[in-house]
Structure 1
């Protein structure tokens, strides 16, 4: 199969012929149809986060099941599926207490003594985030994918695998927005726009979107923002506080920069909660001041939207099919796999919403 391989951080991906193993017990072979280009992948490509090399990035994908291994019960051949990097074992402490997104049990990977899932000639290829989706096929644990309605377009469905699960999940799961509460979303890429859209679905009152790019602010308005502000304005935080008469109940940071996290904390009202979604440089820290603590403000992470993937995914598909969740507007560009480096270049510029690689 054709796949985009990263041989060394900071270098372009190379399209190569890679061999993929047959499914073993509890594994699923998927024919990839579409995969979103996420900034999380860019962090690995540019070397901000370490990973064994060579590797195939990509984690926000949708496709069709081609083969299943022994003991697979959750999907069958022919199913349309969306993948998720937060594969779960189903029996660890995190899983049995409903926090599937925190599972890191090694049973979702192949045992070290088993043949690798991916090979480049006689060289093993490290699977990234349990998926490696920039490839014509994926071989994953059955709990790394969920079957969806076959009427759902796969080029839209792939966004549910990360951007929407993370952004919408932050609203529905991590923060549990109550109708009428105010929300500020810092950053209007794919994740931030999904959070804006979800805040509207959740019945939030004022929804304020911050981004330095005018086109993204306009798109946020289309998806549900009641107010938009240039994130580079020196008075951005003060404007949010003025609009909401004291600050927001919930601030969601969807950029991955310390300055954006600081803004998310600054725009909170007393007792408000800031949720940080963006992947920041590993050495960075985000915190609350003594006055913030005395004001009852809270700071939390929201990894993968605190998802319960088998439950949340079909609901997100339903939201799209009923016209509540706008995935079409989030997609900025569709392209073949051989333009993957172009997609990363666009991400580095900061103007892109979501590019989607579509396989023939």
Structure 2
């Protein structure tokens, strides 16, 4: 069996730097493609695994927000895809289960089966299997994914901008247009102005929401949010509900939580107007619970919901994202607050912890 030598950033122990090691990647099996990575976004989800907030079997290669170039295919009739540029989605859908057939690809009931493989994709130089986050493991020079998870993009799309489409844009933008169906009649609040939050904020602006309120604990992030089109920017504190009521009497019709804490999930519900909808996007610790004010729920017809990966339809959505980017409406380059070489990935994660950071991107070219 032929395997190709690659370099990967391996997490051996939480709260320790990633180590750049030589790994061996398999050939793609039928239904798979192998990509050479051009750029990878450093997502806060990756940071949660890195610092031990979220559990993962080790050793592991993290990373899932990617743009790459297809260099090998598992099916002879897909050879024309070699050389194609693509973004990767962490939710490969089967297209035939009841959820996929209903248009909800992120709820695919066969996703575990889609990720199953008869042999490891990646092993150490000693032949030991390496765990891959989301069955992707994007902090490496190459990855293998299901062919349907590699979504074609124009060849001239900047990799550092394009990689954002696979996660933070798909999640934040998708939650606004698919999960909550924001319209020009809506007032919107976005809690947490990192990558997902800024994507949601931009989507709300593009969707014509009449008011878009940014909420964060860092003034630096709020200043950036203003530049992305927030009509109001509020520094979160003990009086944040009163602050929201002051700028939007009665509360907002749609709220989006992009932090990953029960407290901010609770807040997303409490700032709603009657009939409003809160969408929780942030990943939380296993076992976390959200508490709701029963009166607000029952008497005001308020709702709270999830929108996993923005309830996106990646194969369809990507072309729309690219068009909005090219028109200047969706600002991707401005979301990249620092760029790093692959060997500097730990410095990139350190930069992600800075108050004004939105996205660090590792560039492989």
Residue 257 (structure 1) aligned with residue 266 (structure 2): no
1:307 to 312, 337, 340: 312
2:347 to 342, 345, 355: 342
Distance 2:262 2:206 in 1: 28
Distance 1:350 1:145 in 2: 33
| Alpha-carbon spacing, 1:71–1:110, altered in 2? closer, same or farther (3 Å) | farther
- Please provide the CA RMSD for this pair: 1.6
1:278 to 276, 282, 294: 282
Alignment of 1:1-360 (within 5 A): 1-70=6-75, 76-105=81-110, 106-111=112-117, 114-121=118-125, 122-231=127-236, 233-293=237-297, 294-360=299-365
Distance 2:252 2:243 in 1: 11
Number of residue pairs the alignment of both structures matches = 357
- Identify the range of structure 1 (37-46 vs 247-256) with the bigger mean alpha-carbon deviation: 37-46
- In the TM superposition, residue 126 of structure 1 has moved relative to its aligned partner by 1.4
Confirm or deny: 8 A CA contact 2:221 2:355 kept in the other structure. no
| Alpha-carbon spacing, 1:343–1:32, altered in 2? closer, same or farther (3 Å) | same
Confirm or deny: 8 A CA contact 2:189 2:256 kept in the other structure. yes
Distance 1:346 1:283 in 2: 29
- In the TM superposition, residue 347 of structure 1 has moved relative to its aligned partner by 3.1
- Give unpaired runs (5+ residues) of structure 1: none
- In the TM superposition, residue 75 of structure 1 has moved relative to its aligned partner by 7.3
Distance 2:343 2:356 in 1: 21
Distance 1:327 1:16 in 2: 31
- Identify the range of structure 1 (212-221 vs 55-64) with the bigger mean alpha-carbon deviation: 212-221
TM-score, with length taken from structure 2? 0.94
- Give unpaired runs (5+ residues) of structure 2: 1-5
Distance 1:194 1:16 in 2: 33
Distance 2:307 2:79 in 1: 26
